[in-house]
Every structure is written in structure tokens, then in C-alpha cells.
Chains A and B, each alone.
Chain A
Amino acid sequence: MSREVIAAGVVPEEAPQPSRWRLLRRSGGFRAGAAIVGFWALAALFGPMLVPWNPFATDPLHALAPPSAAHWFGTDQLGRDIFSRVIAGSRDILTIAPLATLLGTIVGSALGLAGGTLGGAFDFVLGRIIEVLVSLPLIVVALLALVAFGASPATTIVLIGLVFAPLVARTVRAAVLGEIALDYVAAAELCGESRLAIMFVEILPNVLGPVLVEATVRLGYAVFAVASLSFLGFGPGPPSPDWGLAIAENYGVIAGGYWWTVSFDAAATASLVVGVNLLAEALHQALAS
């Protein structure tokens, strides 16, 4: 008997596995992505208080001034300081895109979880609906909906969220199908767990990894989609410093050599997308290892 007690008492002395979080922090991609996204998040929160010029103050005498010591990124057609506007302009996109992603992830995860767990006719019908939704071109649907319901941040959030939901659902469903095959699900069923408990208590924690990765990837697309929509005029109206709007307002004058009026807004949008994608890639790597 005493031998047995020793047997159980010895720790399985596994080499301490570096936690996922530590692995993540070591990755260069994660650091770069976090720096970019963190910068824009700070800009969105505190930008308007820190910028050198009032982003809304017009100065017709210095309209379309090239970058200089006073105006680092130059000024636009109304003489507003572009640097201040780029910093302040991050607020709209950084509110709408994450909220839309959150909505899409929650709805999509719930659908994917239900489809994968319940299977049968429900899963079949859901699968076909997802296929139909995925095949619709995002921008066309978005334009129709925005025209129908009127453009507002809330509409944009709901719209992008609902467009993303089937994509998230598809990923989550695939992950759930992998889990369903494992014995712990059958074991839970045998213990008399309810369907809902199996879905949310047993399976959900094990698919959170893929959910997180998918959400981050979606966030990148959401940034792009929000910028596109506001470029097309379905975002905030003037005089908002929103990036998409700024590009829409000024792209007419690029031909005149006033490149700075759109370049910095475009670069800001691109950097945010790249930053989010770096995070997504690093997360994916860390969870896969």
C-alpha cells in the first residue's frame, strides 16, 4: 500500500512549459502588432486632448500647405492640420470596428456551437444559410442595407457584425466537430449533462482559441470595411476627421500634387489593418504550438 501512495505522490516532473502568454510575448510579430494597435487605441482615447492643433479649426489662409514644422502632415483644403485630424480620426473606426467584430463573434460562435453540437437538420439548414450569406458581396449588401435603414454608427456595427457572423460560425463549427468526437462529450452525456451545459461548459472553453484567432482576423477586415463604407459616404459626416471620410473629401485634389491630403489617412488605415493582422498571426501561432 505504501508503495502506491508514493506512486501517486510523486509529481509528474514535466519541464515547466512556457505558458502560451509567455510564448506570445516573445514573438516579434506580436510585439509589433501590439505596439501599432496600442498606439491607435491610445490615440482614439486621448488623441483629441494631445494633438497640437484643433482638428476642426479651419484656416483658409493656410489651405493645402505641404508638411512643415508647424503642420507635420500638412493641411487640407480647409487648412485644417492633417496630423491632428489623423490622430483624432482614429476614434470612430476604433469604436465601430471592434464593436462590430464583437457582435459578429458572439452571434457566430453561438450559431457555430449550436450547429456543431446539435447536428442533424438544424446543422444542415444552418450550413446552407451560411453558404448563401457568405457568397453575397459584402459592400453591395452593406450599401443596400445602409440605404434601407439609414447610415448611422449603430447600423454599421449591426451590419458588419451580421455579415461576419456566418464566417465566424463556420470556423467555430469546424472546431466543435473536432471536439464532439472526443470521449469527454460522451462522458458528459452519460453523466446526464444537459445539451446547453455540454455546449457552453464542456465544449466552448476548448474552442475559445480558434474563436479568439477568428475574432482577431475579423477585426482586421472590420477596420477595412468601416474605412471603405465611410469612404463611400456611409460613415460619419463632415466635419468628422474620420480617415475614410478624409480620403473621400480630398482624393479629388491628389491630381494637383497635394498627396499629403490622403496619404497619411490611408497609411493610418493600412497600419491599423497590418497591426491587427500581426496580432492575429501571432495568436494563431501561439495557440497552434
Chain B
Amino acid sequence: MSAALAIENLSVAYRARGEEREVLRGVSFAVPAGGAYGLVGESGSGKSTLALAALRLLPGAGRLTGGRVRIDGREPYVLDAGGLRRLRAHDVSMVFQNPARALNPSLTIGRQVAEAYEVLGWRRAEAEERAVAMLERVRIAAAARVMASYPRQLSGGMQQRVLLAMALAKDPLLLVLDEPTTGLDATVEAELIDLIAALRGELGTAHVLISHNLGVVARLCRRVGVLYAGRLVEEGPAAALLADPRHPYTLGLLQSLPSPGRRKDQGRLATIPGFPPPPGRPTEGCVFAARCVLADQRCRTEPPAAVDLGGRVSLCHYVERIPPLAHGTIRGVAFAPVGRAPTPAVIEAVRLSKTYRVGRRAVRALSDVSFTLGPGETLGLVGESGSGKTTLARLLLGLVAPDIGGEIRLDGVPLAALAANRGAAERKALRIVLQDPDSALNRAHTVRHLIGRVLRLAGLQGAARKRRLAELLAAVRLEPRHLAERPRQLSGGLKQRVAIARAFAGEPRVVICDEPTSALDLSVQAAILNLLADLQRDHGTSTIFISHDLSVVRFLADRIAVLYRGCLMEIGPAEQVFAGPHHPYTEALLSAAGMPGERRAPVRVASTLQGTREDGVTGCVFHARCPRRLGSLCKTVAPPVVEADGHAIRCHIPRGELGLAASPD
């Protein structure tokens, strides 16, 4: 039986501004029929180009410069137009990252899924019957209702299921999934991953999964290829490759992940120095040499050949030196633990609510959230999209005013609702690091202006300002030459450092970090997390760290608050929140974020149709999705907040019966 997809020595170049840039070079791998292959890489590594090249879908500027592609024995680059069309129509499918853009907003779901069958020659009535069957197959419960809806009425997870159904309509032998779960909430992602795995078992389709997320790839794929700067630097069975990497880049990636249970007081995260090169930059030696700890003269001049390690391949001159490195010295110094004496809180949020008016409807973005933040403490704020994390940050900063009755106190003194009405010192006390540095940094200004302006507004003049600027620059590990550069000239990691420097410029009491690493590549994330932990320790700044990524929160946070649809479901010391007893929602989140190698019985929550949110619910906001709901009680009666040892949980279920963390086995 021939492989579903076989790629041999593939090279692809893009033509940009009159120059050929080679974005893929010498990539080889094969996916057996019914197999699952994962392609891992950071942005710009060539993952998506590889998928497009395999299906001969490269954009006009792209060109195959070498190698062969075979899909089930047929070569898309040799086939004539008709053969290529037949191949694409019957045997290969693709699912893209952004389902909202892949669906036609003006056609019903039913029409779009049925169309996938009509293309294959089915009559309209039959096509619709089959569409319903396929929607049921992708575990959409109310298939008939979904058929009649428009894409905007479905949540992201549901939209992605619909696309999966359309892709599977032709019963393809090869399905390419390009970041299918990126941008979805953790619980939805977990559910979708289970579904993709189950469908592969049922239909026997070969999968190629493209992802930057090692956890997702580990769960879905048997073999994995790691792409870096257009080269497949390592390739092999998923389990072996992730447990025992044989390329310095793979090792670095794995080590820079905050692994479950790692905390900032147990040591710094390992980082990969530098940044991934831009696509298509020609290199002489090994593409990873500039960032590799093992690199020597040979690496910089001589491109490494693929080393066969028995069923797996690594593109490194010094394969044998990697296993010792894995147990090596990278751990480094531990952060000093933050002393937590019972001191008065820096920030007290009391019964904060926020209602937005959308037309005539009132939408509650946040309801009745109270918490305190101690000096030097890090509060992790966890929740999915729409949970009110960002609204809470905006309330604290005074960008929007809370509903009547809510109050924010700084050092015990109530703050004005809006920043404009707060005093200069109060404004200075609260600063934010935003998710997207491209938006948060004014692209018209240099780094010197961006940071200097804040210092000037903070009242610093002349030499004092210069000195402080130099201090800040050193603190975020930027160099003086970066001062004259504009954001456009900096990489994502450097931009975020500038944003962090700006936040710390006025010596704030509290820094709010709103998903500061989610726009960054994995290998850059660790350095930013280390930096935040350092700054916090050195300046004794309190931090509110907002993230959807539990392992990141676990690394940094002293206490954790879990938000769901604007309600605080659970708040307590980080260890206790992770160890349990958990709120059922926290349990689902923890289970969804399962890391490679972690074993626990999955807890899944059902995703719902969007717009089914009942306004004026009297009971628990989570009841509709809760796997442990207690009949009508949860639906009608608001759950009590039960607190023990500073760990509060909002649930009807008695504390003793709530879930605990699975013991590691």
C-alpha cells in the first residue's frame, strides 16, 4: 500500500521583490494511509507553506524548486489539470485555522455542508440528508438546528466542527489540518482534539496536523516533524521525539515550556537565545547555529546532513551531545521566594460588576467580583474568552467605569472610577502590559520616545531621566542601540520588552499583564516570563497576570482566580487551586490543558450554541455546561461561596466531593 502522502527532498521558494527566497529546503517525510503526522514549528518556519506545497496550492509567487510530492502514489506536480482536479475533489481535504473566515457568512450551514456533497454528484435532497448525518458524526447534537443556522450563530468550536464535516464529506484519504484548534478556548480545544482523534479511528483518514502547540501534536500524532527556518530539523515517532529529543531546537522548545508544577521559585525557565530568522534568509551552515548552545565553527559553515537514528532523523552535527544536555545545567538560579507576611492589601476590588448595553439588551460582562492583591503578590486570572478577564483589567485601570456599587481601593483609599478623574500618583500606580505589542506601541515613535515620554510624564527631567531610561533598558535586557529603533524594526519578543519597560517606567505599585506572551513564539515566551518574574522580585511590584494558559499562570502566580462568564468561580493560593478540591469548571480547564506525558481521566464540558446564554439566569452561570450539575438546584439557585484556608469556591457541591488533582503516576 502506498503512503497517503510522501514528500521527498522538497524545496520551495517565494519570489519577493525580485529575489527568490527559499522558504523550505530538503524536506522529506511520509504519512502512511490512516496515519497521523504532526508538523511543529514557530511562525515563519514554513509549516503552512509545506501543506500548501503538498497539495499544489502555492500562491502565485511560490514555486517548487526541487523534490517530489506523492499523494497515494499520484504526483500533483505531474498530473494534468483534470487529474489534479480529481485528486483534490476526491482524495484530499484541508481545514484551516480561522473557521469564521472559511465559512460563507451569508449561507446557512446546511447549504454549505450539503454543497460539499452536491459537488460530488449527489442530488440536493440526498446531499442534505448526508449533511445531517455528517454533522451528527462530528458530534453536533442538534444537527437539524445547526443546518438552519448561519455561521455567526455558532461558536468557534462549532464552526470548526462544521468545517471538519465539510472536509470529511468526500471521505478523503488525506486530511490536512492547519492549526485547527488555535484561537479556541482550552476546553473547546480539548473537545475538538478528542473528536479529531476519534474520527481518524472511525474513517481511516490520514491526518497531517500543523501546529505550534507541542501538547496538541503529542496527543494526536504518531510521528512528528519539527520545522525550523524551512528545514525539518528533527523527525521521528512522537513519543520518542518528545521524551528524548535529538536536536537542540526540539530540546530547547520542550525545556522552555513551563512544565506542570514548575513555579517561579523553583528556578528559571530555560530559554532559547535569540529569535527565529525571517523566512527565506540564506544561511551557510546549520540554520539553528545562531541560537544553539552547541554551535561551533563547523555548525556555522557546514550544513549538517540528516543523521539516521533508527526510525528517526536529526539534522545536527552533534546528535550524541544532546541527551546529556537534557539533564544538564540549564536549571539555573531559583527566584527568591516572595515573603508573604500578612500585610495590608495594595488593591482591593469590592463587588465589581460591569454591564454593557448592546442595543436594548444589557450584557453582564462581570458580576460581583471581589478580591484583594497583596504587595509583591501575583494574582493569576484564568478564564476563557468572554469570561470578563479583560473587562476586569479595564475596570481596574479606569478605562471603563464599574456599575454602581463596585469600588476599587488602592492602599485602602477608594479610587475614582475613571482614570481621568484619578490623581497623577494614582494613575502611575497601575500600569498594563498588553497582549499585542504591535498595537500597544506607537509605530511612529522610537523606543527612546516611547519609554522617555512616560518618564517625562512621571516628572523626571534631564540627567535623572537619562539614568532611569538606562536602568529600565538594562532591566528588560535591551541594548542602548535599540533606543533609536522603531517598533517595526524589533522582533515580537523585543517589542514586548519595550512594552514591559514602559509599564515599569513609573515605578508602579501594580502591573496588569493581559496575555503578554500569547502573541509570541514559544521559544521567546520563556524569556519574557523569566523577565517578568525578575522584575517583580526586584521591584516588589504586585502583578495581575491574565492568561488562558494554565501552565504559564502556574509558573508565575501566587494566587489564582478563575473567571467564567463574568463570575469568580474560584480563588485561592495557586497550589491549592491546582491540587484541589476544584470547582468543576477549573477541573475541566485543568484537564483540557493536559501536557504531554500527563495522565488523568479527561473531564470534558459540552460546548454550546452561541446565543443560548439565558439572560436573567438565577442559578449558576456554569450549569449548562457543568458535567456535575445537580439537577434543577444549579439552574435556579445561585451557588454559595464556600471558603476554607483562603481558598474560595462558588459551587453547590459540598467541598469534600469536589474533584482533586490526579496523583501523578
Contact (A182, B419) CB under 8 Å given A4-B531, A10-B290, A187-B432: no
Q: Are A10 and B419 in contact (CB under 8 A)?
A: no
Q: Are A3 and B271 in contact (CB under 8 A)?
A: yes
- Interface set, chain A 199-253, CB cutoff 8 A to B: 202, 205-206
Which of A15, A184, A206 has the largest count of B CB atoms less than 10 A from its CB? A184
Whether, in the assembled complex, B540 has its beta carbon less than 8 Å from a beta carbon of chain A, the answer is: no
- B445 vs chain A, min Cβ distance (A): 7
Q: Are A184 and B439 in contact (CB under 8 A)?
A: yes
- Residue in contact with B443 in the complex, picked from A4, A15, A18, A206, CB distance below 8 Å: A206
A contact residues around B527 at 8 Å (CB) = 4, 7
Q: Are A190 and B477 in contact (CB under 8 A)?
A: no
- Residue in contact with B275 in the complex, picked from A4, A10, A187, CB distance below 8 Å: A10
Q: Compute how far the CA of A231 lies from the CA of B420 in the bound complex, rounded to whole angstroms.
A: 55
Q: Compute how far the CA of A18 lies from the CA of B19 in the bound complex, rounded to whole angstroms.
A: 12
Q: Which residue of A lies closest to B419 (CB)?
A: A190
- A117 vs chain B, min Cβ distance (A): 14
Q: Are A7 and B278 in contact (CB under 8 A)?
A: no
Q: Are A7 and B457 in contact (CB under 8 A)?
A: no
- A199 vs chain B, min Cβ distance (A): 13
Q: Compute how far the CA of A177 lies from the CA of B266 in the bound complex, rounded to whole angstroms.
A: 46
Q: Are A5 and B477 in contact (CB under 8 A)?
A: yes
Which of B281, B290, B454, B476 has the largest count of A CB atoms less than 10 A from its CB? B454
Whether, in the assembled complex, B582 has its beta carbon less than 8 Å from a beta carbon of chain A, the answer is: no
Q: Are A192 and B424 in contact (CB under 8 A)?
A: yes
Q: Are B444 and A206 in contact (CB under 8 A)?
A: yes
Whether, in the assembled complex, B71 has its beta carbon less than 8 Å from a beta carbon of chain A, the answer is: no
Q: Which residue of B lies closest to A5 (CB)?
A: B477
Task: Mark A163-190 against chain B: 1 for CB-CB distance below 8 A, else 0.
Answer: 0000000000000000000111011111
Q: Are B497 and A8 in contact (CB under 8 A)?
A: yes
Q: Are B278 and A8 in contact (CB under 8 A)?
A: no
Q: Are A205 and B278 in contact (CB under 8 A)?
A: no
B contact residues around A18 at 8 Å (CB) = 17
- Interface set, chain B 411-470, CB cutoff 8 A to A: 419-420, 424, 427-428, 430-432, 434, 436, 439-445, 453-454, 457
A contact residues around B531 at 8 Å (CB) = 4
Whether, in the assembled complex, B201 has its beta carbon less than 8 Å from a beta carbon of chain A, the answer is: no
Task: Mark B252-277 against chain A: 1 for CB-CB distance below 8 A, else 0.
Answer: 00000000000000000001111101
- Interface set, chain A 86-128, CB cutoff 8 A to B: none
Q: Which residue of B lies closest to A205 (CB)?
A: B444
Q: Compute how far the CA of A186 lies from the CA of B420 in the bound complex, rounded to whole angstroms.
A: 12
Q: Are A190 and B281 in contact (CB under 8 A)?
A: no
B contact residues around A9 at 8 Å (CB) = 479
Whether, in the assembled complex, B352 has its beta carbon less than 8 Å from a beta carbon of chain A, the answer is: no
Q: Are B271 and A7 in contact (CB under 8 A)?
A: yes
- A267 vs chain B, min Cβ distance (A): 36
- A259 vs chain B, min Cβ distance (A): 46
B contact residues around A182 at 8 Å (CB) = 439-440
Q: Are B17 and A183 in contact (CB under 8 A)?
A: no
- Interface set, chain B 94-130, CB cutoff 8 A to A: none
- Residue in contact with A190 in the complex, picked from B277, B432, B494, CB distance below 8 Å: B432
Q: Which residue of A lies closest to B277 (CB)?
A: A13
Q: Are A10 and B453 in contact (CB under 8 A)?
A: no
Q: Are B273 and A3 in contact (CB under 8 A)?
A: yes
A contact residues around B332 at 8 Å (CB) = 1
Which of B275, B280, B436 has the largest count of A CB atoms less than 10 A from its CB? B275
- Residue in contact with B490 in the complex, picked from A3, A6, A12, A183, CB distance below 8 Å: A12
Q: Compute how far the CA of A9 lies from the CA of B531 in the bound complex, rounded to whole angstroms.
A: 15
Q: Compute how far the CA of A15 lies from the CA of B278 in the bound complex, rounded to whole angstroms.
A: 7
- A12 vs chain B, min Cβ distance (A): 4
Q: Are A192 and B427 in contact (CB under 8 A)?
A: yes
Q: Are B274 and A187 in contact (CB under 8 A)?
A: no
Whether, in the assembled complex, B243 has its beta carbon less than 8 Å from a beta carbon of chain A, the answer is: no
- B273 vs chain A, min Cβ distance (A): 4
Whether, in the assembled complex, B530 has its beta carbon less than 8 Å from a beta carbon of chain A, the answer is: yes
Q: Are B445 and A205 in contact (CB under 8 A)?
A: yes
- B469 vs chain A, min Cβ distance (A): 15
> Other CB < 8 Å A-B pairs besides A12-B490, A14-B278, A202-B444, 12 of them?
A4-B530, A5-B477, A6-B273, A12-B489, A15-B21, A184-B440, A187-B502, A190-B427, A190-B432, A191-B454, A206-B442, A206-B443
Residues of A within 8 A of B (CB): 1, 3-10, 12-15, 18, 182-184, 186-193, 202, 205-206
Residues of B within 8 A of A (CB): 17, 21, 271-275, 277-278, 280-281, 290-291, 332-333, 397-399, 419-420, 424, 427-428, 430-432, 434, 436, 439-445, 453-454, 457, 476-479, 489-491, 493-494, 497, 502, 506, 527, 530-531
